[in-house]
Chains A and B, each alone.
Chain A
């Protein structure tokens, strides 16, 4: 039963208030996606949940405040898939995925056979088993994203944080990655907190959307309630048409008539 709860989260970076009191809940096994314009504070919110920065307010994982947990304890509860992961030059895929086992090893301990099996099975779960011997810096965007998610799976944390997991991918690979994550969510009973730019896709995969604007929650709820033409226009400053479809709201930008 792992839930993520944010209570009045505030974060200032270089004197600028990036988050100004954000409340957010992700129930166990749920998928919440945070949307909002650039600079709304989406990534900062994920970094706060991952324990990478210490916010004002309280982040609770499993009802335990993150600030009271060590890095290792936090990493056993949440795994982060960063927006732009740092790829060490020359590192092979299997070794990269094995980095996910760091939180399960003592400070001076090396990984054992069990850890290697865990990494290999994570790769297989993401249809990336055949990549194990390649070096990460030679992979395509789609392959690399699957490998980074495999590293997060190998971490065996019940909460998965995805920071714009589809931004660098074409629509085919976007769908593939999100389908894989959704499958893993039910298989492994993961709780997912993501940020995304593509509103239509965001609405199709998440149980609930949270729209951030200027460091505040502007709207939250099911996609059909959050993705209204009026709300999207206001917070993104864009002319859109929202089409109600059986798969969910479809958000289409509309060019001003020339």
Chain B
């Protein structure tokens, strides 16, 4: 099925609406479901009540309201931000490297963040809370250091083409950081569990601090990536042809990589290394809605956020009162779903 026969590739209203609906549905489910069962209707009324000029009585007590506004909503918003960022960064990397297997961790962000977090945890700094918590700060620094190193090494690629050179230097840098991280982790066995949890990813229930830390980064990075989405389509014809069309390919690649890497670094520093979102969401959107990045990226923002919020619900509730690492859920649910989309989309062609 080819979208919009007459006009150029673009978003259709109902596609955006379905993405918005997915976000809303996941959000309400995230607020309603948990150890204290609040009920979908009550949560909806409580939300409506906060809208200006509208009064609605949800019938929820003060304690239940506090659960919604101070515990669950920050976590839902955090899930939306992290999911949107990881998924969109994955989509942008796939475009800029013309590689369907590219994910946000391609250039060493995850390995660097894991290294940074491990260093903070083993040095005993991991017990701080909120905005002064050194673990996310150290993870963020490690992620940026790794990606910068990858870019510096990749830029001196000699005879290789720039894309291959960058991807290969990402492999080298990631292996190096992972090796150091594993070495440190093995020597400090009493903190191994904490490190392990970071590596598998978890959305923390830490009030609004993490959200406030993350929102500016995700906001700016997502906007930049969305603004270059037309250029990503042009890059599809290869570096040389895109250059002949008037595109400054190096600048374009640098801007996209910086935005995607910075956003990913910020996201994983608070959420840990949640895998698979950056591959599965953009590819599902591509299979369902078409191959133009003008369509893929905006929808990936919405569906990425919704997907991670849903995964987090499963992570919280599946083996209550314990929590499964969310990275396990994204892969466990994501992989079969992805296979399903892959098969049905192929048949529809």
Chain A, residue nearest B242 (CB)? A102
B245 close to A75 (CB less than 8 A): yes
Residues of chain A whose beta carbon lies under 8 Å from any beta carbon of chain B = 47, 50-52, 70-72, 74-76, 78-80, 82, 85-92, 94-95, 98-100, 102-105, 107-111, 116, 119, 132-133, 135, 155
Chain B, residue nearest A110 (CB)? B230
Is B254 among interface residues, defined by CB-CB distance under 8 A? Answer: no
- Distance to closest chain A CB from B98 (angstroms): 9
Q: Of A91, A102, A119, which one neighbours B292 at CB under 8 angstroms? A: A91
Q: Of A74, A78, A82, A116, which one neighbours B241 at CB under 8 angstroms? A: A82
- Distance to closest chain B CB from A109 (angstroms): 8
A–B Cβ pairs within 8 angstroms, 8 of them = A47-B240, A87-B237, A88-B236, A88-B291, A94-B8, A99-B234, A103-B246, A111-B230
A102 close to B247 (CB less than 8 A): yes
Q: Of B6, B240, B247, B294, which one neighbours A52 at CB under 8 angstroms? A: B240
Q: Of A79, A89, A100, which one neighbours B291 at CB under 8 angstroms? A: A89
* 7 more CB-based (< 8 A) A-B contacts, given A91-B291, A99-B233, A110-B294: A71-B248, A71-B249, A82-B244, A86-B237, A88-B237, A92-B9, A95-B8
A85 close to B247 (CB less than 8 A): no
Q: In the assembled complex, which residues on chain A have CB atoms less than 8 Å from the CB atom of B240?
A: 47, 52, 82
A99 close to B237 (CB less than 8 A): yes
- Distance to closest chain B CB from A146 (angstroms): 17
Contact with A along B242-276 (1 / 0, CB 8 A): 11111111001000000000000000000000000
Q: In the assembled complex, which residues on chain A have CB atoms less than 8 Å from the CB atom of B248?
A: 70-72, 107
Q: In the assembled complex, which residues on chain A have CB atoms less than 8 Å from the CB atom of B290?
A: 90
Is B186 among interface residues, defined by CB-CB distance under 8 A? Answer: no
Q: Which of B237, B240, B292 has the most CB of A within 10 A?
A: B237
Chain A, residue nearest B227 (CB)? A108
- Distance to closest chain A CB from B97 (angstroms): 14
Q: In the assembled complex, which residues on chain A have CB atoms less than 8 Å from the CB atom of B237?
A: 85-88, 99
B228 close to A52 (CB less than 8 A): no
Q: In the assembled complex, which residues on chain A have CB atoms less than 8 Å from the CB atom of B233?
A: 88, 91, 95, 99
3 closest A-B pairs (Cβ-Cβ)?
A103-B246, A75-B246, A88-B236
Q: In the assembled complex, which residues on chain A have CB atoms less than 8 Å from the CB atom of B231?
A: 102, 107
A92 close to B245 (CB less than 8 A): no
Q: In the assembled complex, which residues on chain A have CB atoms less than 8 Å from the CB atom of B243?
A: 51-52, 71
B245 close to A103 (CB less than 8 A): yes
Is B5 among interface residues, defined by CB-CB distance under 8 A? Answer: yes
Complex CA gap A116/B230 in Å reads 14
Complex CA gap A105/B234 in Å reads 12
Q: In the assembled complex, which residues on chain B have CB atoms less than 8 Å from the CB atom of A82?
A: 240-241, 244
- Distance to closest chain A CB from B252 (angstroms): 8
Q: In the assembled complex, which residues on chain B have CB atoms less than 8 Å from the CB atom of A94?
A: 7-8
Q: In the assembled complex, which residues on chain B have CB atoms less than 8 Å from the CB atom of A72?
A: 246, 248
Q: A52-B240, A75-B245, A99-B245 are in contact. Are A116 and B234 (CB under 8 A)?
A: no
B8 close to A86 (CB less than 8 A): no
A95 close to B234 (CB less than 8 A): no
Q: In the assembled complex, which residues on chain A have CB atoms less than 8 Å from the CB atom of B5?
A: 133
Q: A95-B8, A110-B230 are in contact. Are A155 and B291 (CB under 8 A)?
A: no
Q: In the assembled complex, which residues on chain B have CB atoms less than 8 Å from the CB atom of A155?
A: 245-246
Q: Which of A74, A79, A133, A135 has the most CB of B within 10 A?
A: A133
Q: In the assembled complex, which residues on chain A have CB atoms less than 8 Å from the CB atom of B292?
A: 91, 95
Is B2 among interface residues, defined by CB-CB distance under 8 A? Answer: yes
A102 close to B241 (CB less than 8 A): no
Complex CA gap A94/B6 in Å reads 9
Is B238 among interface residues, defined by CB-CB distance under 8 A? Answer: yes
